[in-house]
Structure 1
Amino acid sequence: MNPIPLPGLVNPHDLSADRQFSMNLARGLEVLRAFTAATPLLGNREIADRTGLPKPTVSRLTYTLTLLGYLSRDAHGQKYRLGPGVLSLAHPLLASMQVRQLAKPLMESLARTTGCTVNLGVRDRDQLVYIDSVRADSTNQHLPDIGTTRPLLPCAMGRALILGCTAAQQTAILNFLKVKNRAEFEQYRPLWEADRKRFAAHGYCHSKGDWRKEIHAIAVPVRTTLGDSPLALNCTISAHRAPRERLGREVAPLLKEAVHQLEIAQGLR
């Protein structure tokens, strides 16, 4: 069996013939992923529609996940929400990521100096996930919490996370995005191409309201000791506080220096 170079870039149904692959476990995890911040409460029919799984299969999985503490029933017993067990799974990962502790003072200094909100993120499938944040721009109405997700291509940080990968990995991620949603991929492809060139020339990605028109951002990938999981650091600021080319001219050099220092602290330079 050929190794999967980037975990997550696979449809479980494509591995149905792989005897080492546990389809039941994969289906259970797909049920958990059906819940989002926008839709925290789902019934079996809604989960079936979101996952493509048969409703009887979903019923068995939600029953099992509820008994194990990964789902909780609502007061009327007809719908489910994520349970405390899911939160308990995340903490050991965050606590073991030493790069978060190393990055914190650098992020705080960068936020104080620039007035930007500074975030640290990692890629998960076709999304970026924030793993830390220092909130300095109180006018930003989209301040992320730890665990908040964003789509990759519309965001400067998402594009930086892709650019932090090898050429082969970048191709795999872009192919995954293209297959999952061709229309969305084509919509944001010009942003990707522009940032690919900007990164080659200037070493950072820049969003001028690409994801939310009222938010501007710049981002830089961060090499880590986490194997095939590069991180990215960004600075975000409300559009009215980012006149002309302030982010690129004033903030980008400071952001790149913070990334440089973070890589030194990890022993990578």
Structure 2
Amino acid sequence: MSVPVQPGRASPPTDRVVQILDFLASRPTERYGVSELARRVGLSKPTCLGIVTSLTEAGYLVRDPADKTYRLGPSLITLGHRAQESMRVSPAARDHLRRLSARYGATAALSAVVDDRITLLDLVAPTGARPGVEVGQSYPFAPPVGLMFVLWDDEAEQDWLRRQPTIPLRTDTERLKRVVASCRADGYLVERQTPGGRRLYALMAGMPTELPDELRALLGELVSDIGERVYLREESSGRRKHDISVISAPVFDHYQRQVMVTSMHIGKALTDNEISERARAVVAAADAVTAQLGGMRPRDPA
């Protein structure tokens, strides 16, 4: 999957630059003068002025000459595009997400494990929708979060299961085996929507893997089994709808290794046939991104 980065010495001056950029990025429609910006991020005014001056000269910020306020600048657009390219997210991949989103009126996304964190690489939402997540947002890659990234690789699955869980868990080994076998046969993962599941990702966005004990206990009340939120068609009576959260399918590279996940966020009740139809569309989008990377699906064992 990904190789953890070895920790090095921190750079306080760099941390201050990141602090300002992160603050402005979280408020993209707002503008701030130096005094207010310095106060909001906890820096001295001279230090803040020096940083925003340099960032403005580089095009990372824009200064309004009338009211002397600052906002994000055009050079960040280029950086963002370069970052996506480095993650192998091309405009063609976004086209697949856009078609998937338009067809079902749902949010489509592409994500990957980057430095031991699940990171949202690209996202397309229907016009006017508020998906609740944004590109660049990340989550701890540890049970129970991240099953969709290890289902198609036995070694990756075992490595993931050996990680320190983000919350107290019990594991129904037999059910997990059924989940893995079913998802590999179908080529996709369908997660059911539960009140706990809806809150889980909202709570964990941006959180470190090592969570405070109090938060771990709270999350443990929401989700306590790795496979409990997985929908399996063979377990369905076929007579009712199911509240579905997300449908995901893997993207592979030319070594037949899973490198990304294509997902469609559902957030409503669907019949078995509706689930299957959307799942096939998600798989088709994932396969298209795989082909674009020059990748291929793992061969079935003989």
Task: Report if TM-score (shorter chain) is over 0.5.
Answer: yes
Give the equivalent residue in structure 1 for 2:67: 76
SS in 2 for 1:177: coil
Flag the 1:160–1:172 CA change in 2: closer, same or farther, 3 A: same
d(CA) in 1 for partners of 2:290 and 2:221? Answer: 30
Structure 1 stretches lacking a partner, 5+ long: 210-215
TM-score by length of 1: 0.58
Q: Which of 237, 243, 246 matches 2:270?
A: 243
| Separation (CA, whole Å) in 2 of partners of 1:5 and 1:129 | 18
1:177 aligns with 2:208: yes
Quick one: distance in 2 between partners of 1:151 and 1:172? 18
Specify which of 14, 18, 43 is matched with residue 25 of structure 1.
Answer: 14
Could you tell me which of 139, 147, 152 is aligned with 2:139?
152
Equivalent AA in structure 1 for residue 208 of structure 2: L
1:227-242 alignment, distance < 5 Å: 230-237=259-266, 239=268, 242=269
Which residue of structure 1 aligns with residue 4 of structure 2?
A: 6
User: Which whole-Å CA distance do the structure 1 matches of 2:164 and 2:105 have between them?
Assistant: 36
Alpha-carbon distance in 2 for matches of 1:38, 1:253: 37
Compute the displacement of 1:124 (Å).
6.8
Matched, 1:60 2:50: yes
Higher helix share: 1
Q: Secondary structure at the match of 1:129?
A: strand
Alpha carbon RMSD of aligned pairs, Å? 4.9
Query: Residue 51 and residue 97 in structure 1: after superposition, are their counterparts in 2 closer, same or farther (change >3 A)?
Result: same
Name the CA shift for 1:69/1:30 in 2 (closer, same or farther; >3 Å): same
Q: Does 1:219 align with 2:206?
A: no
**Paired AA for residue 33 in structure 1:** D
Query: Comparing 109-118 with 65-74, which one deviates more in the overlay?
Result: 109-118
Superposition pairs of residues 115-134 of structure 1, within 5 angstroms: 116-122=106-112, 128-133=119-124
| In 1, Cα distance between equivalents of 2:21 and 2:165 | 23
1:259 aligns with one of 261, 286, 300: 286
Q: CA deviation at 1:55?
A: 5.3
Sequence identity of aligned pairs in percent?
20
Q: Structure 1 residue 31: deviation in Å?
A: 2.1
Matches within 5 A, 1:90-109: 90-95=80-85, 98-101=88-91, 103-104=93-94, 106-107=96-97
Unaligned runs of at least 5 residues, structure 2? 168-206, 234-241, 298-302
CA distance 1:56–1:95, change in 2 (3 Å): same
Question: For 1:175-228, what per-residue CA distance to the aligned partner results, in whole angstroms no more than 9, with x for missing partners?
Answer: 9625466665554456665555656989xxxx968xxxxxx4333453457xx9
Q: Which amino acid is 2:120 matched to?
A: V
Q: 1:107 to 1:67 in 2, by over 3 A?
A: closer
Pairwise CA distance, 1:36: 3.0
Q: Distance in 2 between matches of 1:191 and 1:246?
A: 28
Check the 8 A contact 2:246/2:264 in 1, yes or no: yes
